[in-house]
Structure 1
Amino acid sequence: MQTFHASTPDDYAAALAAHPRLLVDYYKDDCPGCKMLDMSLAKFAATADAEGLALLKVKMEVIGEDFFRGLNLRQTPTLSLFKDGSEAARLPGFQAPAQIAQAVAAHFATADA
């Protein structure tokens, strides 16, 4: 799983357009749940379920709180799954590696079939 970082709304839009199967991790530095989700994502990335996926990290302190509000994000961490540029699922709060794998299987199972 490749990891990218969005520093601007244009970076964000470009990643959505470039990656048909994209996980987006919305986070901020002073968030304990965000650090835990980061560990879950690292464990998930080491599995076969992560093959063919891209991960976009979007940090609130970099891209701006107004951008987060515009997406109706109510908490960090939030993990979103995008399929072909459209949001397929939004998972607020901490997610264990198994929960991430389950969401990926549910929403991306037929992406390459």
Structure 2
Amino acid sequence: MKNYIRNHDTEDVRLSKLEEVSGLSRNYLSVLFRQEFGMLPLEYMMWLRVQRAKQLAVTTSMSVTEIAREVGYADVHAFGKMFKKKTGVSLSQFSSSCYMTEGRLGMDV
């Protein structure tokens, strides 16, 4: 399941698809995933997207809109809300803080 999510993290992965791929019920696969990785499958997908967005923000000159699309969000506003909820700062604030610190602190990729 983890590999499937990692390989499809820019797509709209649903629990029903994970049920199909794993052959497990939705509840059982969620329990197993949380036991093994400490988060639910869709939380893991969001974590991957945040990590990828951080990486792109620091290593490319892509705009926030381009980064949102690259990590699987068609709606830049939905992406911005999710990113801020997960990190406590906007992607622009994150990028600025990385460039202001010589070691580019804040990168958890």
TM-score normalised by length of structure 1: 0.28
- In terms of fraction of residues, the more strand-rich structure is 1
**Which is bigger in relative contact order (C-alpha 8 A, separation at least 6)?**
1
- In terms of fraction of residues, the more helix-rich structure is 2
- The structure whose Rg is larger is 2
TM-score normalised by length of structure 2: 0.28
